[in-house]
A and B are shown apart, each in its own frame.
Chain A
Amino acid sequence: MDFSFIIQQVVNGFSLGSMYALIAIGYTLVYGVLRLINFAHGDIMMVGAFLAFIFVGLLTGWKFENVTMPVFLTAVGFSIILTAFIGVLTYVTAYKPLLDKNAPKISLLITAIGISFFLESLFNVIANQYFGGNYQSFYFPKWFSQVLHFGDVTVPILTILVPIITLLLLGLVLFILFKIKVGIAIRALAFDIQTVKLMGADSNKIIAFVFALGSALAAIGGVAYAMAYPSIDPYMGVLVGLKAFAAAVVGGIGSVTGAVIGGFILGFVEVAIPGFLPELGGWKDAFAFILLIFVLLFKPTGIMGIDFERQRF
């Protein structure tokens, strides 16, 4: 148990936590505006990773080994745009009609589960039909897996890059929310949806923007996740999505900064506990929920302490 081992674990925790954070931001934004747990969000992240895989395939003529940096970044860019579009599509086709009809909340939640299961089974069929199996290796340029040496600590570039990108994106989201008109509209919507409508703002456009923003971040998270594990499968979003939601609650649901903090905490816990207590390794996936239950018991508002009666984001 030397110092470099601890540093190694911290870096890994940061990296894993960033992926949870990217997905948790989407949960927290949608929950803040609609008070809806968007169960499909984890699967949106899977869609992002899958689309990146498909675009890389299309651009390289299905010779994945040849993927170069410009090709990869183009593919990821396309994937982010298309995933954002799919996120908006779920809102427009499934959630909006229910909201318009003033349907009870349970209908929205059932729809969310329905979308989630639909995306999973759809990509399951696509993967089985066209790629010959559920599990696919995810190819990316070699540059990302180059190893950097800091004394005894060895870190792949990817592991450092992901947290940096996450923090930059957090800055971007905070900038949008607090400095740009649409962001101010989002916060107003989270505060009181009826009054915003009375003020003449088009609440549908604003909510659609929230879905697009959340889905784009989920796509980035999905690509990062696929690169870290280098594989994708249609059900990869389920567990990650659930954990990211737990992270959002731990950080204080409704708070974007809280979502990132919650994601980092969860990443640390998941890396540190099996690292220091290997006999608990099989329980890795359960930590998120134990953490969630404890937060609900002792500090339901989460770390950032968002109380929905008083403040937003």
Chain B
Amino acid sequence: MKKWNVKTMTPGQYFALIGIVTAVFLAFLYVSPKIFSDYTITVLGNIYIFIILAVSYNLINGVTGQFSLEPNGFVAIGAYVTAILMLSPELKEEMYMLAEPLPLIRDVFLPNPFFALLISGIVAALVALTLAFPVFRVRGDYLAIVTLGFGFIIRIFLINNPQISNGSMGLDSIPPFASYFWIGVATLITVILIYNIVYSKFGRAMKSVRDDEDAALAMGVNTFWTKTSAFMTSAFFEGIGGGLMASSIGSISPDQFTFMLTFQLLIIIVLGGLGSMSGAILGTFLFIGGMEVLRPLDETAWHLGPIHGIPGLRMVVFSLLLLLLMLFARRGLFGDKEIWDYIKIRRNNG
């Protein structure tokens, strides 16, 4: 339902708003390490990376309405590509213990973080194209199962090809370019870019596919390419998020990118409201905060009356939370609306 009483902004006002948001956020990034403890800053950095992942996951699941379970696969690709590009040939020679690295893998060296992340994103997007092509040609239903399977295959690939990925040992000493400040900057850029995609002609095509695919097709929207390119865009940013994750943690292994990661992101975007960017951002804060608050549930020392903490209990609580959300609050916090829909200001985009 379109609200016609929304005030739209002129391009000048829009760029002024973006400028103000950027300035405030950059100031916060600069000041926060001086105010908060190291622990808080680590959690905040983690939240920023999850915002990148949640907002881009929301693009395919929420905005385009195609149920996909891909993030862990593409995050793994991004993390490994960034790590392989950023590690020097000598270091790789030393690190690959299970097998000699392939000459190509050993010699490729791109110490510039910007280009390394860009290439990670592009590789993830190309893999997304090869996955999405067979699926969207048939019917969107199979996307979930193909992407879920892909998440397992990528892990099998990483473990079984030590000459590429150093097998189950993983890679370490990845250069820590992803400091708190630069993760924040990358998050800001991602959010602004995806905002502009969602409110462009392309974004409207995605929403039309979600709301009524047949009608969209009848109105001349190329639904196949809309779905495929939405999937690729989301993979691109997930690859970049993976690269940032690799650099901020410093070491990666195949077991870091299990289905658990995808499940967490799914809860985040459902909690925030499928299709809402501000919901995805707020959902990330709530979820990661909630994970920290519920941490005692996993520790046997904790007890509340007769209830004791049991390892794994936290995930039981979170999966129940997801089921209850679907039953009683299917629209999440914001539904498919945004914060700015409530204050009735939106960019004038024709």
Known contacts being A98-B327, A110-B270, is A121 close to B315, with CB within 8 Å? yes
Whether B323 lies near A242 (C-beta < 8 A) is no
Known contacts being A35-B141, A37-B144, A121-B315, is A106 close to B149, with CB within 8 Å? no
Whether A296 lies near B142 (C-beta < 8 A) is yes
Q: Which residues of B contact A238 (CB under 8 A)?
A: 259
Q: Which residues of B contact A239 (CB under 8 A)?
A: 152
- Taking the nearest CB of chain B, how far is it from the CB of A50, in angstroms? 15
Q: Does A286 lie at the interface of the complex (its beta carbon under 8 Å from any beta carbon of B)?
A: yes
Q: Chain B contact residues: over half helix, strand or loop, or mixed?
A: helix
Q: Which residues of A contact B150 (CB under 8 A)?
A: 289
Q: Which residues of A contact B108 (CB under 8 A)?
A: none
Whether A128 lies near B311 (C-beta < 8 A) is yes
Q: Which residues of A contact B103 (CB under 8 A)?
A: none
- A175-233 residues at the B interface, CB under 8 angstroms: none
Whether A121 lies near B316 (C-beta < 8 A) is yes
- Taking the nearest CB of chain B, how far is it from the CB of A32, in angstroms? 13
Choose among A103, A128, A297 the residue that contacts B134 (Cβ–Cβ < 8 A): A297
- Taking the nearest CB of chain A, how far is it from the CB of B325, in angstroms? 8
Q: Does A118 lie at the interface of the complex (its beta carbon under 8 Å from any beta carbon of B)?
A: yes
Q: Which residues of A contact B316 (CB under 8 A)?
A: 118, 121-122, 125
In angstroms, Cα B157 to Cα A37, docked, is 26
Q: Which residues of A contact B327 (CB under 8 A)?
A: 94, 97-98, 111
Q: Which residues of B contact A110 (CB under 8 A)?
A: 67, 266, 270, 322, 326
Known contacts being A103-B330, A118-B323, A285-B156, is A113 close to B146, with CB within 8 Å? no
User: Which of B160, B311, B327 lies at the interface centre, i.e. has the most chain A CB atoms within 10 A of its CB?
Assistant: B327
Q: Which residues of B contact A283 (CB under 8 A)?
A: 156, 160
Whether B323 lies near A111 (C-beta < 8 A) is yes
In angstroms, Cα B270 to Cα A104, docked, is 13
Q: Does B97 lie at the interface of the complex (its beta carbon under 8 Å from any beta carbon of A)?
A: no
Whether A109 lies near B144 (C-beta < 8 A) is yes
Known contacts being A110-B266, A117-B315, A283-B156, is A245 close to B145, with CB within 8 Å? yes
- A27-67 residues at the B interface, CB under 8 angstroms: 35, 37, 39
In angstroms, Cα B145 to Cα A274, docked, is 24
Q: Does B53 lie at the interface of the complex (its beta carbon under 8 Å from any beta carbon of A)?
A: no
Q: Does B104 lie at the interface of the complex (its beta carbon under 8 Å from any beta carbon of A)?
A: no
Q: Which residues of A contact B152 (CB under 8 A)?
A: 239, 242, 285-286, 289
In angstroms, Cα B291 to Cα A35, docked, is 34
Whether B323 lies near A107 (C-beta < 8 A) is no
- A259-302 residues at the B interface, CB under 8 angstroms: 282-283, 285-286, 288-289, 292-293, 296-297, 300
Known contacts being A117-B263, A283-B156, is A289 close to B146, with CB within 8 Å? yes
Whether B145 lies near A114 (C-beta < 8 A) is no
| Size of the chain A interface, CB-CB below 8 angstroms | 43
Whether A125 lies near B312 (C-beta < 8 A) is yes
CB-CB nearest in chain B for A116: B319
Known contacts being A94-B327, A114-B322, is A296 close to B134, with CB within 8 Å? yes
Choose among A37, A39, A125, A292 the residue that contacts B310 (Cβ–Cβ < 8 A): A125
Q: Which residues of A contact B95 (CB under 8 A)?
A: none
In angstroms, Cα B131 to Cα A111, docked, is 24
Q: Does A115 lie at the interface of the complex (its beta carbon under 8 Å from any beta carbon of B)?
A: yes
Whether A111 lies near B149 (C-beta < 8 A) is no
In angstroms, Cα B69 to Cα A115, docked, is 15
- Residues 134-162 of B, flagged 1 when their CB comes within 8 A of A and 0 if not, give 11011101101110111011001101100
CB-CB nearest in chain B for A119: B319
- Residues 246-269 of A, flagged 1 when their CB comes within 8 A of B and 0 if not, give 100100000000000000000000
Q: Does B313 lie at the interface of the complex (its beta carbon under 8 Å from any beta carbon of A)?
A: yes
Q: Which residues of B contact A285 (CB under 8 A)?
A: 152-153, 156
- B157-173 residues at the A interface, CB under 8 angstroms: 157, 159-160
- A3-48 residues at the B interface, CB under 8 angstroms: 35, 37, 39
Whether B65 lies near A121 (C-beta < 8 A) is no
Q: Which residues of A contact B263 (CB under 8 A)?
A: 113, 117
Q: Which residues of B contact A154 (CB under 8 A)?
A: none
7 additional contacts (CB under 8 A) given A124-B312, A285-B153, A296-B138:
A39-B144, A94-B327, A110-B322, A118-B319, A121-B316, A242-B152, A288-B149
Measured CB to CB, the residues of B under 8 A from A are 61, 65, 67, 69, 131, 134-135, 137-139, 141-142, 144-146, 148-150, 152-153, 156-157, 159-160, 259, 263, 266, 270, 274, 310-313, 315-316, 319-320, 322-323, 326-327, 330
3 A-B pairs closest in CB distance: A118-B319, A282-B160, A289-B149
Q: 10 pairs across A/B with beta carbons < 8 Å? A: A37-B145, A94-B323, A94-B327, A103-B330, A110-B67, A114-B326, A117-B319, A117-B322, A283-B160, A296-B135
Measured CB to CB, the residues of A under 8 A from B are 35, 37, 39, 94, 97-98, 101, 103-107, 109-111, 113-115, 117-118, 121-122, 124-125, 128-129, 238-239, 242, 245-246, 249, 282-283, 285-286, 288-289, 292-293, 296-297, 300
